[in-house]
Structure 1
Amino acid sequence: MVKKLLVLFLLLCVTAVAGFWFINKQVSNFLAQSLVIEEPVLLTVKAGNSLATIVNHIVGQKWVEDSEFKPLLRRLHPELANIKVGTFQLKPGDTLNDSLLRVVSGKEYQLTITFIEGSRFIEWQQQLAVAPHLVHKTSKMSEQDIANALQIEHSKLEGLFLAETYQYSVGDSDLDILRRAHRNLMRVLDVEWQTRQEKLPLKSPYEALILASIIEKETAVASERERVSAVFVNRLNKRMRLQTDPTVIYGMGDRYKGNIRKRDLRESTPYNTYVINGLPPTPIAMAGEASIAAALHPEDSNYLYFVASGTGGHVFSKNLRDHNRAVQQYLKHLRSQK
C-alpha cells in the first residue's frame, strides 16, 4: 500500500513538474514573439497602468499574438511588473520581452531638436512649433509672456538661449526646452564671465552676450572667433563704431532681402552700428558656447578691420590703408567669379 502511495505521489510530482514546465514554456514563447511592426512605434504608459494593461494594449494592436497563458505572466515573471510611466519606442525586431524590459527600465524615448549658432528667436519658435510630440504652450504667448513664464528679466529674448542640441521626451513642452536652453546659457555665461579677460569694454554679462552674438554672425570659422572678438574689443576701446553688417541686417528686420545698400548703412536704427556708438541694445542672434568664450577672451592683437577673403575666411588689418587694399582684393575676387 505504501509503495502504491509512493508511486502515486511521484506521478503527481512528475505531472506537476511537467505541467509547470509546459506552462512556463508557453509563457516564454509568448514573451519571445517578435513584434509585428514594420517601423518603430511609440508606447505610452500612463499613471495607474498595470503590466496587464500594457500587454493587453500590445495584443490589441496585433503587434503580438494573444495567449491563454497571458494572465500568468505577472506570476511567472514578477520582474516585468515594475513598469514605469512614460513613452517608450518599440522597434522592429524587438520581442515582447524586450519591449516590456524597456518599459521596466524607464528609458523613455528621446527626441532631439537642434538650434544652430547664429539663429534667431523667431526661428526657434518656428522649429518648436513643428517639433513632433512636443506640447506647444507658447503658440499664443507674446515674447513678454514667455519671458515672464521663464522668469527672464529681459522682455526681448534674442540671444538668451544657448544654441545646441536638446533632447526631450514625449509630453515635454516648448517652455521646458526654452527653460533648459536659458539655464544652459546662464551657466556658460557665468563661467566665462568669472574668468574673463581683464579691462574688457563690457559692463555686464548681457553686453558680453551682445558681442558674442555679433561674433557668431560674423564668422563660422572657429579659428577666427578670438581674432574677430579682438577687432570689436579694440574698436570699442578706441570708441570707434563697430560698423558690422549683421547689425544692419538685424535692424532692417523683414525689409532685408539679401542685399545691403548704401542707404541701409546710413539708416538710423537702434541696431545699425554704422550709425550708433558702442554695442546695439540687445543680442542679434543666439550664440554658441565658443562665441561666448571668444567675446570674453579675445585674441591679444591690434587688428581693427576685417573683410571676407572670398575663400571662406577673413583678411584682418591693423590700419585703414591695409584694409582698403584687402577690400579691393575681395572685390576683384568677386568680379573674377562672374
Structure 2
Amino acid sequence: MSNLKKVLWATAILGLVICGVVAYQIYSAIFNPNTAFGNEEAYVFIPSDANFDEVKSLLEPLVKNLGSFEAVAQRKGYISNIKAGKYAITRGMNNNDIINSLRSANIPVKVSFNNQETVEDLAGRIAQQLEADSLALVQVFKDTAFLAENGFDNDNMITPYLPNTYEFFWNTDAREFRDRMFKEYHRFWNGNRKKKAQELGLTLTEVSSLAAIVQKETVKMDERPRVAGVYINRLKKGMLLQADPTVIHAIKKETGNFDTIIKRVLYRDLEMDSPYNTYKYSGVPPGPITMPDISSLDAVLNAEKHSYFYFVADVSNFGYHKFAGSLQQHNRNKVQYVEWLNQQKIRR
C-alpha cells in the first residue's frame, strides 16, 4: 500500500510540474515581451481584406517569436477578426498587447496636399498617403452623376478640394476620401463667406476660379488681397482679366502636359482660342486653374479696396509686384521686368 501511495504522490507531483510548465509557457507566450526592433515604436499597415498570413508576413520582422504570436492570436480570436488600418507596436510589448493594439487602436494619419492642377495629380498625391489607389480616386473624382448632383462639372471638378492637412484613417477608401472633402468644402463655405461672395457678385465656384489665379500670381500671402483687388476692379469695370497664369493653363490643357514649365508668356500665346485665355474671353474662367488654398480664397473674399488695375513682377523685390492705376504707369513698370527677363535669357 505504501508503494501505491508513493506512485500516486509521484504522479500527482509530476502532473503539477507539467501543469506548471504548461502554465508558464502559456503565461510566457501571452505576457513576455515579444518585439524585435530597437526603435521606441514600429508601425504596421494592414490592408483591407488582409488574411492572417499577410498579417504574419508584416509582423515577421518586428516580433521575436512568430509562433507564440500566432498561438495567442488564435486563442484571442484575432485570426478571424482582422481589421485594416495603421497600428503601432511599442518596443517591449507582449503578444497580448500587440493583439489588443491590432484589434482596436487604428491610428489616424495626417494627409496633406497642396495646389494640384488636376484631379490626376491629386489622386497621385493622396495614394501616397492612404490605402486608396490613384485609379480608384480618379474614378470617383470624375463620377459625372456625383458631380452633377453637387453642381460641378469637368471644368470645375477640382473646386471642392481645399489644400490643407487632414486626419484620416489609413484604410480610407476613394469614395470616403472624396465625400469627406466635400464636407470640408461645405464647412469652409459658412454663412459669412457666402455673404461676402454674394456682395462681390460672384458664385462660390467663381471665387475659387479667381482665387486660383491669385494663387498662381503671387506666393506672398500678404500680397494676395491686393492682387485679388486688381481682378475685382477689372471685373467691375468690365475689363478682361488678362491673367498670364490662365494662358499657361490653356497651353497645358491643350497639350495635355501639365508638367510643362512656362516662365514667359509670348504674344502668340495670347491668341489661343480657349475659354481659359483671359486675354480673349471676359469674366472668370470656367474652372480653377489650380486648387487654391484657403489664404487665396479668403484673399478674394476680403480683397483690398484700391484703385489699381495693373501689376507686374517687382525685380527689385522678388516675390512681390509693382501696382499701377493707369496703363501708362504699368507700361513703365513693365519695361524693367522685360529687361530683367531678357538679361536672364528667359525666352519661354
Same fold per TM (> 0.5)? yes
Matched, 1:41 2:44: yes
**2:339 is the counterpart of 1:327:** no
1:192/1:292 contact within 8 Å kept: no
C-alpha distance in 1 between matches for 2:227 and 2:59: 61
How many Å separate the matches in 1 of 2:245 and 2:291? 13
More displaced 10-residue stretch of structure 1: 278-287 or 33-42: 33-42
Q: Which amino acid aligns with 2:101?
A: R
Answer yes or no: is the 8 Å Cα contact 2:87–2:106 preserved in 1. Answer: no
What is the TM-score normalised by the length of structure 1?
A: 0.74
Structure 2 CA distance for aligned equivalents of residues 59 and 159 of structure 1: 38
Say whether residues 1:169 and 2:169 are aligned partners: yes
Q: How far did residue 230 of structure 1 move?
A: 0.5
SS at match of 1:41: strand
Change (3 A) 1:326 1:59: closer
1:3 maps to which residue? none
- % identical equivalent positions: 25
Letter in 2 for 1:186: H
Contact 2:129 2:170 in 1 (8 A): no
The one of 262, 270, 277 aligned to 1:272: 277
Per-residue deviation, residues 51-93 of structure 1 (Å, max 9, x unmatched): xx79x94898472326779968999xx9x99x88332334573
Indicate the residue corresponding to 1:308 in structure 2.
313
Residues in 2 aligned to 1:191 and 1:125: alpha-carbon distance in whole angstroms: 30
SS of residue matched to 2:143:
helix
Deviation at 1:223, TM superposition (A): 0.3
Contact in 2 for aligned 1:87/1:169 (Cα 8 Å): yes
Task: Tell me how far apart the structure 2 counterparts of residues 291 and 201 of structure 1 sit (CA, whole Å).
Answer: 17
3-state SS, counterpart of residue 138 of structure 1: helix
3-state SS of 2:45 partner: strand
The answer to whether the aligner puts 1:65 opposite 2:65 as a matched pair is yes
CA contact (8 A) 1:270 1:280 kept: yes
Q: Which runs of 4+ in 1 moved over 4 A?
A: 18-25, 36-40, 43-47, 56-60, 66-75, 128-132, 335-338
Contact 1:37 1:92 in 2 (8 A): no
Aligned to 1:180: 180
Preserved CA contact (<8 Å) 2:87 2:102: no
Aligned partner of 1:318 among 325, 334, 344: 325
Change (3 A) 1:234 1:172: same
1:128, 1:174 within 8 Å by CA — same for their partners in 2? no
CA distance in 2: counterparts of 1:69 and 1:218, whole angstroms: 57
Q: Please name the residue that 2:136 is paired with.
A: 138
Paired AA for residue 323 in structure 1: H
Aligned partner of 2:200 in structure 1 is: 200
Cα offsets for 1:103-132 (capped at 9, x unmatched):
35433363x443212533332134346656
- Provide closer, same or farther for how the CA distance between residues 254 and 91 of structure 1 changes in structure 2, counting only shifts above 3 A: farther
- Give the CA deviation at 1:96: 3.0
Tell me which amino acid in the other structure corresponds to 1:116. Answer: N
Q: What value does the CA root-mean-square deviation take over the aligned residues?
A: 4.2
The residue aligned with 2:266 is: 261
Number of matched pairs: 316
